[in-house]
């Protein structure tokens, strides 16, 4: 003992090197590092004071119970706490290598002890603590057994008794010495609390010796709980049983948390084999001497807590009390909470129980049935609503709604748009009401009927139509120029899509979009702009196909026609023939007893232009065209464009009211404020009255020709309506449905929605067109009248589709095809285009549709087109067409028809389809290929192959 180093002494005392160094410094023996050698006197000085202040004395009482067993009882004499001394449990140490016997002994010995402390749960810890001072001794006894593992423990055990003995052991197993030192510390501080704390590391060797019986551990539990708890692993068992009976064992709440865990803390013995000076269980021990005033309970807690908590060294420096009380709180509260939770949520012992419990609670909440207030059961929709949106607003699953729809015979997806009626029926089933707010918006925009006294005469709006080259543009220009020269000179003519001319102080507005295409396109958009149509027919050419079309379009729109027989200056002009030809359309000249105005003019020679205008004014008088100029403006967009400098610009034809600069307005899906207006002569105008065309700047977007323009009271309103329309547009695009198809006809007839069936007939020869038209007219019944709006020779054009769209008509084609653009437009507009080879089939279809018997089972699906660029004659094969695929694709096994000037000349199958020398299944767009037809050799350059296939369609009726 002559040489004791700082770190050794620190270990012996169970304190940090630093702390020891601090104490040394306090003693006036400063050291520089932990390796410094201390004199015996210094060591004594350091260790002695710890004993003096305490009022406790610890002595060992050894009794050799058996030859292999020594019972050591630590006698603690403590003035304030005599119980502690009593509580000092006897420890039994195995002597020699006889693990079984000593193991049994301690149980017996210890079992006696708990009796006292059992009354107070806190005392249970004393019982646990009691063996601890003895525990170090146990290994001491084991030491001779020369079990290397036990060495440290043995040293530790010996240390308190005969430190001199322990010393030699230390060099032999320096590592092992550490635990010994730890244990030694309490020995040096023989007070009960100090002794209690090191117990934990000391106990393990016993357990190791007796792994099966683990008597020390068991002893603790038995002493602590005093209920019939199984002797083996009580803590674990309790843990396991807890969820099963849903409640914790009674003693638990009263017990500090830390106490319970030692049961699970079996690995503790390792401390014996693997010295761990840092372990928290050791820490309280060295500090114990300083904490003399602590109660026995506190000491116990302090001793127990660190190990199970595996936590920090909060037991130091007097903080001990706090965690202990916290532990109690937890001990009382947490089990309560757990119990509640278990009772409520945990049906079984599984850990998943918690989750399940949570789920159950949620399910419980969901089952609450709440009926929304009446006001909340009204769903406002605009025109249409998707299935998903309706379900969302009703708070039901979309699948439920889809199921309800299926019951109604409607197969729908979540994005399927529902119209107002369907939505109403569905919503009623679910206890909701549907309110159509779209109607409100449109109602807001509806023109109020004007009081008769507020109406004033307005200029007529005229459109010029006619066949190509009959002089429409020339006539328009002639009228305008004449008028400009006659009127205000100097103005720079602007093309704004419309202009007005003046005659005898009266104005006439001309729409500068000659041709019935524009007229019908605008009408198809719902705009009724034109009051009078001037039909130009060249006197030298007579009635031509487009003349007929123009007549039909005008008639379909119900607009009166004035015939301008043009080019009368020409020598070959024959106005009488024109009059005769037009009689066929019911346009009979006045001098021949009819009511149609005919004017013979010459645009070139400016002949009779004034009388033409006079006739227009006369017709306007007949029509009594009037409007109220003293209200907010309403009109139609005639033309619109995006100007680089000015942004969106549109020509508005005011139809009623007066438009002023600064007015807010809405036009189609756009809105804006009139920033500036100018007329066709480029003059700025502050206001525009009825029938006056003006170019307006101030749109937020480019509107479409035919959009209705309405001046609004304020911007907010205009914006709201425009947004609403945009939404509606999107919805209607989604809900795109045909205007009228033959399949729907019967249904609509039944509902009384259709009184007139309008058709447009197109054919390859005039004879068949007339025959079809005549046959169709004969189908007229009392319930439904069949109108042939237009019948002509040639391909189905965009104009035909527009007319059909505007008049809700069906197009019937005989041996003709729609032009590509026309087909696309028909698809877009939802116009039903039916193509036939036999007249009988067409008439029969209409008849069946009217009777509700139409059962279409196949529908043609267009695949693509190829144009013949070259024709080769191949021996034994026949003619092969070198073709170029211009649209879609050509498929070898699909059906094909050969079109010559859009007239079907052959329909059948391909006999071959090749790319270079290879037979191919299909050829895509923009590729060349060789094609030949089965049993048909008349192929010509410029012919078109149209490839299609027949698709089976479920009968809709």
CB of 466 to ligand GTP, least distance (A): 6
**Beta strand 597-600 pairing with 561-566:** parallel
CB of 473 to ligand GTP, least distance (A): 3
Among 547, 566, 636, 678, binds ligand GTP (CB under 6 A): 566
Question: What does the H/E/C string look like for 214-239?
Answer: CHHHHHHHHHHHCCCCCCCCHHHHHH
Residue 82: DSSP 8-state:
H
Look up tokens 């060797």; give the residue: 205
Q: Which is nearer to ligand GTP, 464 or 854 (CB)?
A: 464
Q: Site residues for ligand GTP, window 512-541 (CB under 6 A)?
A: 514
Q: How far apart are CA 494 and CA 484, in angstroms?
A: 12
Q: What are the backbone angles phi and psi of residue 556, rounded to the nearest 5°?
A: -60, -30
Number of helices (H), then strands (E), in the chain: 37, 37
Q: Which is nearer to ligand GTP, 168 or 571 (CB)?
A: 571
Three-state DSSP at 565 gives strand
CB of 570 to ligand GTP, least distance (A): 5
470 is in an annotated binding site: yes
Q: How far apart are CA 883 and CA 869, in angstroms?
A: 5
Site string for ligand GTP, 13-42 (x = CB under 6 A): ------------------------------
CA atoms within 13 A on the CB side of 633: 31
Q: Could you tell me if 134 and 192 are in contact, meaning their C-beta atoms sit under 8 angstroms apart?
A: no
Task: Give whole-number Cα distances, 435 to 420, 426, 432, in Å.
Answer: 8, 13, 10
Three-state DSSP at 489 gives coil
516 is in an annotated binding site: yes
Span of 168-176, 461-469, 733-741, 851-859 interacting with ligand GTP by CB under 6 A: 461-469
Q: Which is nearer to ligand GTP, 223 or 471 (CB)?
A: 471
Among 75, 604, 889, 914, binds ligand GTP (CB under 6 A): 604
Span of 196-204, 270-278, 567-575, 932-940 interacting with ligand GTP by CB under 6 A: 567-575
Q: Which is nearer to ligand GTP, 478 or 697 (CB)?
A: 478
Other Cβ atoms closer than 10 A to 801: 29
Three-state DSSP at 797 gives coil
Asked if 553 interacts with ligand GTP (CB under 6 A), we say no
Among 480, 570, 681, 748, binds ligand GTP (CB under 6 A): 570
Identify any residues that bridge with 651 across adjacent strands, giving them in sequence order.
639, 695
| CB-count exposure of residue 453 (10 Å: 0-12, 13-18, 19+) | exposed
467 is in an annotated binding site: yes
Q: Site residues for ligand GTP, window 468-507 (CB under 6 A)?
A: 468-474
670 is in an annotated binding site: no
Q: How far apart are CA 339 and CA 346, in angstroms?
A: 9
Q: Could you tell me if 178 and 275 are in contact, meaning their C-beta atoms sit under 8 angstroms apart?
A: yes
Asked if 569 interacts with ligand GTP (CB under 6 A), we say yes
CB of 467 to ligand GTP, least distance (A): 7
Q: Which residues contact 452 (CB under 8 A, 6 or more apart)?
A: none
CB of 536 to ligand GTP, least distance (A): 6
Identify any residues that bridge with 604 across adjacent strands, giving them in sequence order.
none
Which of these, 639, 635, 659, lies nearest to 649 by C-alpha position?
639
Q: Which is nearer to ligand GTP, 186 or 471 (CB)?
A: 471
Q: Site residues for ligand GTP, window 222-261 (CB under 6 A)?
A: none
Among 6, 521, 534, 603, binds ligand GTP (CB under 6 A): 603
952 is in an annotated binding site: no
471 is in an annotated binding site: yes
CB of 474 to ligand GTP, least distance (A): 3
Look up tokens 């810890």; give the residue: 125
Q: Which is nearer to ligand GTP, 472 or 523 (CB)?
A: 472
CB of 612 to ligand GTP, least distance (A): 12
Asked if 574 interacts with ligand GTP (CB under 6 A), we say no
Span of 264-272, 467-475, 527-535, 916-924 interacting with ligand GTP by CB under 6 A: 467-475
How many chain residues interact with ligand GTP (CB under 6 A)? Answer: 16
Which of these, 836, 756, 827, 754, lies nearest to 788 by C-alpha position?
756
Cα torsion 742, 743, 746, 749: sign: negative
466 is in an annotated binding site: yes
Among 271, 602, 619, 797, binds ligand GTP (CB under 6 A): 602
Q: How far apart are the first and last CA of the chain?
A: 114
Task: Give the CA radius of gyration of the chain.
Answer: 54
926 is in an annotated binding site: no
574 is in an annotated binding site: no
Task: Give whole-number Cα distances, 182 to 74, 135, 155, 212, in Å.
Answer: 18, 13, 10, 27
CB of 621 to ligand GTP, least distance (A): 27
Dihedral (C-alpha) 703, 708, 713, 719: value to the nearest 10 degrees? -40
Span of 123-131, 235-243, 561-569, 876-884 interacting with ligand GTP by CB under 6 A: 561-569
567 is in an annotated binding site: yes
Which of these, 474, 675, 655, lies nearest to 665 by C-alpha position?
675
Q: Which is nearer to ligand GTP, 390 or 475 (CB)?
A: 475
Q: What is the largest CA-CA distance in the chain?
A: 155
Asked if 297 interacts with ligand GTP (CB under 6 A), we say no
With residue 446 as reference, give the H or E element that holds it.
none
473 is in an annotated binding site: yes
Among 178, 300, 567, 865, binds ligand GTP (CB under 6 A): 567
313 is in an annotated binding site: no
Q: Which is nearer to ligand GTP, 201 or 471 (CB)?
A: 471
Q: Which is nearer to ligand GTP, 303 or 562 (CB)?
A: 562
Q: How far apart are CA 933 and CA 904, in angstroms?
A: 14
Span of 20-28, 148-156, 601-609, 877-885 interacting with ligand GTP by CB under 6 A: 601-609
Among 121, 466, 497, 648, binds ligand GTP (CB under 6 A): 466
Which amino acids are annotated as binding site, given as ranges?
466-473, 512-516, 566-569
Give the interface with ligand GTP as residue ranges (CB under 6 A): 466, 468-474, 514, 566-567, 569-570, 602-604
Which amino acids are annotated as binding site for GTP, given as ranges?
466-473, 512-516, 566-569
């Amino acid at each position: 003992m002559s040489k004791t180093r700082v770190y050794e002494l620190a270990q012996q005392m169970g304190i940090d090197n630093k702390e020891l160094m601090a104490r040394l410094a306090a003693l006036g023996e400063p050291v520089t590092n932990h390796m410094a050698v201390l004199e015996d006197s210094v060591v004594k000085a350091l260790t002695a004071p710890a004993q003096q202040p305490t009022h406790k004395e610890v002595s060992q009482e050894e009794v050799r119970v058996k030859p292999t067993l020594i019972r050591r009882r630590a006698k603690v004499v403590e003035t304030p706490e005599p119980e502690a001394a009593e509580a000092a449990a006897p420890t039994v140490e195995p002597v020699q290598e006889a693990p079984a016997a000593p193991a049994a002994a301690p149980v017996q010995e210890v079992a006696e002890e708990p009796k006292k402390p059992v009354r107070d749960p806190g005392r249970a810890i004393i019982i646990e603590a009691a063996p601890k001072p003895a525990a170090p001794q146990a290994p001491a006894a084991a030491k001779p057994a020369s079990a290397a593992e036990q060495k440290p423990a043995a040293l530790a055990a010996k240390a308190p008794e005969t430190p001199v003995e322990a010393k030699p052991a230390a060099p032999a197993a320096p590592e092992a010495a550490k635990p010994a030192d730890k244990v030694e510390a309490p020995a040096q501080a023989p007070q009960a609390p100090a002794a209690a704390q090191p117990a934990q590391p000391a106990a393990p060797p016993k357990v190791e010796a007796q792994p099966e019986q683990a008597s020390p551990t068991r002893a603790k539990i038995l002493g602590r709980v005093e209920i019939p708890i199984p002797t083996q692993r009580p803590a674990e068992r309790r843990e396991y049983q807890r969820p099963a009976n849903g409640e914790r064992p009674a003693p638990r709440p009263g017990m500090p948390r830390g106490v319970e865990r030692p049961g699970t803390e079996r690995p503790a013995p390792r401390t014996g084999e693997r010295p761990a000076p840092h372990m928290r269980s050791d820490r309280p021990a060295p500090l114990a001497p300083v904490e003399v005033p602590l109660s026995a309970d506190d000491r116990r807690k302090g001793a127990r807590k660190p190990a199970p908590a595996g936590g920090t060294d909060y037991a130091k420096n007097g903080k001990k009390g706090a965690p202990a009380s916290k532990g109690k709180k937890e001990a009382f509260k947490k089990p309560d909470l757990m119990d509640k939770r278990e009772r409520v949520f945990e049906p079984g012992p599984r850990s998943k129980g918690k989750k399940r419990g949570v789920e159950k609670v949620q399910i419980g909440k969901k089952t609450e049935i709440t009926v929304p207030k009446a006001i909340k059961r009204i769903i406002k929709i605009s025109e249409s609503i998707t299935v998903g949106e309706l379900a969302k607003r009703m708070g039901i699953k979309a699948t439920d709604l889809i199921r309800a729809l299926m019951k109604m015979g409607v197969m729908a997806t979540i994005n399927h748009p529902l119209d107002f009626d369907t939505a109403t029926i569905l919503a009623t089933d679910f206890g909701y009401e549907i309110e159509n707010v779209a109607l409100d918006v449109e109602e807001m925009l509806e023109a109020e009927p004007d009081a008769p006294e507020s109406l004033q005469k307005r200029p007529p709006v005229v459109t010029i139509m006619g066949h190509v080259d009959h002089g429409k543009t020339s006539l328009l220009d002639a009228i305008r120029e004449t008028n400009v020269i006659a009127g205000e000179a100097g103005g720079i003519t602007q093309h704004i899509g419309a202009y007005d001319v003046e005659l005898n102080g009266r104005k006439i507005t001309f729409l500068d979009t000659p041709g019935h295409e524009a007229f019908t396109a605008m009408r198809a958009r719902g705009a009724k702009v034109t009051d009078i149509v001037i039909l130009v027919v060249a006197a030298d050419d007579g009635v031509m196909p487009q003349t007929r079309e123009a007549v039909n379009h005008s008639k379909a729109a119900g607009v009166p026609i004035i015939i301008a027989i043009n080019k009368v200056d020409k020598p070959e002009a024959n106005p009488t023939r024109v009059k005769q030809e037009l009689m066929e359309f019911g346009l009979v000249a006045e001098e021949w007893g009819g009511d149609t105005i005919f004017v013979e003019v010459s645009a070139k020679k400016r002949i009779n232009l004034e009388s033409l205008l006079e006739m227009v004014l006369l017709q306007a008088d007949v029509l009594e065209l009037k409007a109220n100029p003293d209200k907010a403006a309403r009109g139609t967009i005639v033309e619109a464009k995006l100007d680089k400098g000015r942004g969106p610009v549109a020509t508005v034809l005011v139809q009623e009211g007066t438009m002023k600069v600064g007015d807010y307005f809405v036009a189609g899906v756009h809105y804006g404020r009139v920033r500036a207006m100018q007329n066709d002569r480029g003059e700025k105008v502050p206001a525009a009255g009825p029938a006056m065309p003006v170019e307006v700047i101030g749109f937020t977007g480019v509107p479409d020709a035919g959009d209705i323009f309405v001046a609004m009271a304020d911007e907010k309103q205009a914006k709201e309506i425009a947004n609403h329309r945009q939404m509606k547009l999107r919805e209607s695009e989604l809900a795109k449905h045909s205007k009228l198809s033959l399949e729907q006809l019967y249904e609509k007839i039944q509902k009384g929605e259709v009184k007139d069936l309008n058709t447009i007939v197109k054919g390859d020869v005039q004879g068949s067109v007339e025959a079809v038209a005549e046959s169709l007219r004969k189908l007229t019944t009392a319930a439904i009248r069949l109108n042939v709006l237009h019948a002509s020779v040639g391909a189905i054009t965009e104009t035909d589709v527009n007319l059909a769209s505007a008049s809700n008509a069906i197009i019937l084609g005989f041996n003709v095809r729609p032009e590509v653009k026309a087909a696309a437009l028909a698809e877009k507009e939802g116009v039903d285009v039916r193509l036939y080879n036999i007249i009988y089939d067409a008439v029969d279809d209409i008849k069946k549709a009217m009777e509700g018997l139409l059962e279409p089972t196949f529908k043609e699906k267009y695949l693509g087109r190829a144009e013949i660029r070259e024709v080769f004659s191949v021996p034994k094969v026949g003619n092969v067409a070198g073709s170029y695929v211009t649209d879609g694709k050509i498929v070898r096994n699909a059906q094909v028809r050969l079109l010559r000037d859009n007239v079907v000349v052959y329909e059948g199958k391909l006999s071959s389809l090749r790319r270079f020398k290879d037979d191919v299944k299909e050829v895509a767009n923009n590729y060349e290929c060789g094609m030949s037809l089965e049993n048909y050799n008349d192929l010509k350059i410029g012919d078109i192959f149209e490839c299609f296939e027949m698709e089976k369609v479920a009968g809709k009726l």
